[in-house]
């Protein structure tokens, strides 16, 4: 019995190790939280601040889906710049375009989310 416990102890300790969260979730987007820098197929992107969030809340029927305006830091081989990106509108970056394609969680009228709960999904379509 004691030998079994000695064998299981390293496995139990290994399960407590912190594993970095993979920013990719299989939908072709790279996700980042506020202050987290991720490589989006070339440029490195860091979400800094939501400037505006006019998304239609998920528990409301809207005529317009709305958009998110986000301040981001973008680093490329040419340097680093703070830019504004609007959801669904490609932004020219380096030799391609960067798109803010998803914002989580969905906006709601009956809930307020902490900044730590937000995730921003980016896609980079590189040039030729």
pLDDT of residue 5 exceeding 80, the answer is no
pLDDT of residue 25: 55
**What is the distance between the alpha carbons of residues 101 and 116, in angstroms, rounded to a whole number?**
19
pLDDT at 128: 56
Alpha helix segments (H runs only) across 1-128: 2-14
What's the CA gap between 96 and 91, in Å, rounded? Answer: 8
Average pLDDT of the residues of the chain? 82
pLDDT in the model for residue 9:
41
Is the pLDDT at 38 greater than 50, yes or no?
Answer: yes
Q: Which of 34, 38, 69 is nearest to 51 (CA)?
A: 69
Query: Mean pLDDT over residues 98-103, rounded?
Result: 96
């Amino acid at each position: 019995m004691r030998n079994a416990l000695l064998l299981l102890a390293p496995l139990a300790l290994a399960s407590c190790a912190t594993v970095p969260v993979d920013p990719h979730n299989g939908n072709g987007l790279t996700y980042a939280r506020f202050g987290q820098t991720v490589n989006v197929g070339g440029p490195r992107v860091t979400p800094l601040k939501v400037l505006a969030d006019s998304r239609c809340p998920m528990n409301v029927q809207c005529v317009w889906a709305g958009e998110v305006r986000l301040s981001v830091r973008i680093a490329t081989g040419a340097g680093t710049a703070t830019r504004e990106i609007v959801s669904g509108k490609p932004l020219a970056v380096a030799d391609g375009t960067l798109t803010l394609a998803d914002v989580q969680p969905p906006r709601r009228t009956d809930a307020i989310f902490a900044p730590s709960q937000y995730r921003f999904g980016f896609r980079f379509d590189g040039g030729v």
